[in-house]
Amino acid sequence: MSNLSNLVAPAQDAIPYKTLANGYKIPGIGMGTFGSDRFTAEQVAEGVYHAAEAGFRFFDCASVYGNESMIGEVFARIMQSGVSRSELFIDSKVWNDQHDDVIASCKKSLADLKLDYLDLYLVHWPFSNYHAPGCTVDSRSPDATPYSHERFMKTWAQMEQLVEMGLVRSIGTSNMTIPKMELLLRDCKIRPVVNEMEIHPHFQQQELYDFLVANQIQPIGFCPIGSPMRPDRDRTEDDTCDIEDPVIVNIAERLGVHPAIVCIKWAVQRGHIPIPFSVHKDQIYGNITCITQDPLTDEEMAAIAGIDRNNRLIKGQVFLWEHAKGWEDLWDLDGVIVK
């Protein structure tokens, strides 16, 4: 274990920032708040407080995580400690069963988080398909349907209304594909400024990544170290482990760090925004300190680019409709939206 008394937060001016397409600035690293069913809301909230102490200013929240009210208490503590609201970048997400009630969902998150506005609000999944908490991975809701662009645009119109109401500053998407994003960009009034997506060395999503960048949409990457603590329901026999990859391990040995640190460094140097999660103080400090020192070499970045295995870990099986062939139907792998 690290000596916790030696933990020092990096200077704020050492943390990289990105400028979104609408001019707002976002930190180049964030703190995830999904406890993966393995940590209590209290543990996650306390982790948020430690993250603020460590220098994190971007916090990625969601109503479905079930911990926003506790995190809201912590945000109040953080701001009482001297960090102003304007220094923080806070997002939340509308869950699948609230696609017809986006404004009410956002207002609930604002109340829980004890905020007057959100810096960013996302559509968590492009499907309205709901699954019961704790359901098995092969369960199917009888109400689940394939993607409907008409329905999604009704949801997006409410997202745009949130901007017009001043409740959120920016809006974005999560778990989108190129075909779905092309339709959204064609039909929207206010463009998404980010897309949150699974990204780690074994799942780099280069084609989608390049498409987003070309359209001035900032990629935010969840599961940045390959999510070894992800829920059991999301595990399959074919999954690989990024932090055991020899390329990652060798770089970690050169730097004298845990392989997870290499994955976070790679993300920031590549240009997307990772949102690592931990409840452990030493890991939290390490996750943000690492991006301010000992950068990876060009050769190491090239080596990591070569270990992409197209290994999607969060497959979304519980969102499938009854007659879907498999989780692949959610992701438009052939470039066509599956009906």
Positions marked active-site: 65
Six-digit token pair at 329? Answer: 């139907």
Q: Which two tokens stand for residue 302?
A: 């090239």
Give the integer Cα–Cα distance in Å for 32 and 35: 8
Q: Which string of DSSP letters, residue by residue, matches 42-103? A: HHHHHHHHHHHHHT--EEE--GGGS-HHHHHHHHHHHHHTT--GGG-EEEEEE-GGGTT-HH
Cβ(127)–Cβ(180) under 8 Å? Answer: no
Closest CA to 128 of 160, 151, 103: 151
Give dist(CA 330, CA 230) in Å, integer.
19
Q: Which residues are registered as beta bridge partners of 25?
A: 19
H helix or E strand, kind and range, residue 195: strand 194-198
Yes or no: say if 163 and 169 are a contact pair by the CB < 8 Å rule.
yes
* Residues 15/210/326/245 CA torsion (nearest 10 deg): -60
| Pairing mode of beta strands 58-60, 31-32 | parallel
């070569």: which residue's tokens?
Answer: 306
3 state SS of 23: coil
